[in-house]
């Protein structure tokens, strides 16, 4: 397994986003100086996304353009009460077709997938978030009263605003999900009451990205030099190897989130006012803080904080709308949305089951922790267990092939996780009031 290639083959996405910074800063400068009208700002953001899609995805850019235009037509023609079913159905069918095509290419034909296609499908997944967010807003009537400068919601929503939202370049290749209403507010704010100069926060977050990438490079190099094969590792070595590999993957997520958030800030998006001491706050669009995630001691809390805007979208799209086993269905849909590779299905099922178990175990054990030292010990053990479970989930999702999953399931760490949760669930079940 060439770990360096696996981790750094997708760096083209980071490079493309870095090269988008001048375009974002130019947009902020022109909008702040009132050199762009409201319509011109929407056109600028949309054309920037179109150009970026053509440059990064090449001939596969139409994978994003077709559903963007199709969803815009649906928004303008379908009834607001029925719009979500149409948008959700067509978008997921289109996305699933390309996910299955990639699996056919990788597992049946045994051919490497073009990185441009992978980039297009990744952008398509983000597009699914945005178009379904709008369709749910329309269905629930949340676009009324409409933002200033807009016409009536539903079928009369200006197509330019919608296309700009679905294709705007700061969120094309990655980034936190921004609702349509907030997007319109951010665009209008750049002229009415422009946010402060974002250059300082952009430089700070860009340096954070470089630092995360440097730490990841050192960690991957360490893993490669001490790897003797997963099947031949001892129990402790296997646990440490899987945890370190998972940490390297998580560092990749953190750097991508920070860079996407930074690119949005460069365009003036994500500003949410000042603190009591007058410090500007640029965290209005954020997917998570690495420190708060890595110190989390509850699996359920980790699941809510991980990729925060996507977690909120999944909660709204599936969890709050599903009447039967909403937690399980949320993780099942997440596996579907990610591509339904064997490792992804296994990883998200493990995650869903452990989150459910976390609720039961915490409700059963926490009332017994009557002293501070017991609570501290429980928190430390819970943090260690959260790290192990997340390590299994992340490695399974990222190393998604069936052959690796079979090897992974034979290791000590997978057996340990399964045994521990079966034991804890059995103890908690026996101690619930209904079974006394």
User: What is the C-alpha to C-alpha distance for residues 305 and 195, in angstroms, rounded to an integer?
Assistant: 27
Closest CA to 171 of 200, 142, 179: 179
User: DSSP of 54-94, one letter per residue?
Assistant: HHHHGGGGHHHHHHHHHHHHHHHHS-TTTHHHHHHHHHHHH
Query: Considering 307, 362, 385, 435, which one is annotated as catalytic?
Result: 307
Residue 118 tokens, joined: 């992978």
Give Cβ neighbours of residue 178 (< 8 Å, ≥ 6 apart).
171, 186, 264, 269, 285, 309
User: What residues pair up with 280 in beta bridges, in sequence order?
Assistant: 274
Backbone angles phi, psi at 158, to 5 degrees: -55, 125
Residue 4 tokens, joined: 């360096």
The answer to whether 238 touches 226, Cβ cutoff 8 Å, is: no
* Three-state secondary structure string covering 171-207: HCCCCCCCCHHHHHHHHHHHHHCCCCCCHHHHHHHHH
The answer to whether 219 touches 251, Cβ cutoff 8 Å, is: yes
Query: Based on C-alpha coordinates, what's the Rg of the chain?
Result: 23
Q: Is 264 a catalytic residue?
A: no
Backbone angles phi, psi at 280, to 5 degrees: -65, 140
Our measurement of the distance from residue 323's CA atom to the centroid of its chain's CA atoms, rounded to an integer in Å, reads 25
Our measurement of the distance from residue 324's CA atom to the centroid of its chain's CA atoms, rounded to an integer in Å, reads 25
Closest CA to 25 of 273, 161, 197, 283: 197
Q: Is 307 a catalytic residue?
A: yes
User: What is the C-alpha to C-alpha distance for residues 49 and 72, in angstroms, rounded to an integer?
Assistant: 16
Give Cβ neighbours of residue 271 (< 8 Å, ≥ 6 apart).
186, 189, 195, 196, 198, 265, 280, 281, 282, 284
User: What is the C-alpha to C-alpha distance for residues 226 and 128, in angstroms, rounded to an integer?
Assistant: 40
Query: Considering 338, 341, 362, 431, which one is annotated as catalytic?
Result: 338
User: What is the C-alpha to C-alpha distance for residues 273 and 169, in angstroms, rounded to an integer?
Assistant: 23
Q: Active-site residue numbers?
A: 307, 338
């Amino acid at each position: 397994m060439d770990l360096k290639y696996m981790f750094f083959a997708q760096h083209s996405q980071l490079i493309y986003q870095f090269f988008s910074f001048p375009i974002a800063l130019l947009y902020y400068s022109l909008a702040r100086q009132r050199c762009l009208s409201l319509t011109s700002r929407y056109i600028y953001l949309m054309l920037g996304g179109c150009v970026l899609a053509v440059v990064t995805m090449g001939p596969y850019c139409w994978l994003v353009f077709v559903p963007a235009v199709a969803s815009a037509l649906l928004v303008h023609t379908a009834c607001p009460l029925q719009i979500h079913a149409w948008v959700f159905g067509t978008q997921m069918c289109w996305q699933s077709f390309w996910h299955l095509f990639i699996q056919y290419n990788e597992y049946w034909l045994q051919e490497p997938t073009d990185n441009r296609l992978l980039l297009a499908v990744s952008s398509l997944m983000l597009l699914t978030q945005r178009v379904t967010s709008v369709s749910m807003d329309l269905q629930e009537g949340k676009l009324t009263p409409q933002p200033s400068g807009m016409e009536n919601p539903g079928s009369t929503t200006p197509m330019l605003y919608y296309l700009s939202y679905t294709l705007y370049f700061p969120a094309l290749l990655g980034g936190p999900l921004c609702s349509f209403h907030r997007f319109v507010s951010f665009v209008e704010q750049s002229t009415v009451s422009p946010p402060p100069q974002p250059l300082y926060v952009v430089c700070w977050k860009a340096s954070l990205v470089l630092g995360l990438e440097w730490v990841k490079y050192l960690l991957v190099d360490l893993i490669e030099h001490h790897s003797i094969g997963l099947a031949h590792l001892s129990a402790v070595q296997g646990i440490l190897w899987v945890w370190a590999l998972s940490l390297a993957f998580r560092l990749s997520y953190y750097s991508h989130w920070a860079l996407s958030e930074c690119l949005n800030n460069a365009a003036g998006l994500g500003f949410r006012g000042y603190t009591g001491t007058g410090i500007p706050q640029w965290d209005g669009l954020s997917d998570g803080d690495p420190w708060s995630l890595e110190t989390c001691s509850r699996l359920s809390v980790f699941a809510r904080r991980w990729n925060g805007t996507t977690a909120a979208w999944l909660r709204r799209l599936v969890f709050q709308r599903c009447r039967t086993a909403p937690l399980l269905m949320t993780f099942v849909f997440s596996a579907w949305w990610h591509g339904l590779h064997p490792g992804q299905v296994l990883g998200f099922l493990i995650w869903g089951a452990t989150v459910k178990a976390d609720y039961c175990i915490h409700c059963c054990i926490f009332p017994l922790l009557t002293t501070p030292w017991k609570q501290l010990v429980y928190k430390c053990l819970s943090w260690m267990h959260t790290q192990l479970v997340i390590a299994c989930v992340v490695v399974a999702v990222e190393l998604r092939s069936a052959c690796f999953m079979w090897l992974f399931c034979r290791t000590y760490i997978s057996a340990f996780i399964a045994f521990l949760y079966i034991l804890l669930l059995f103890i908690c079940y026996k101690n619930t009031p209904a079974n006394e």
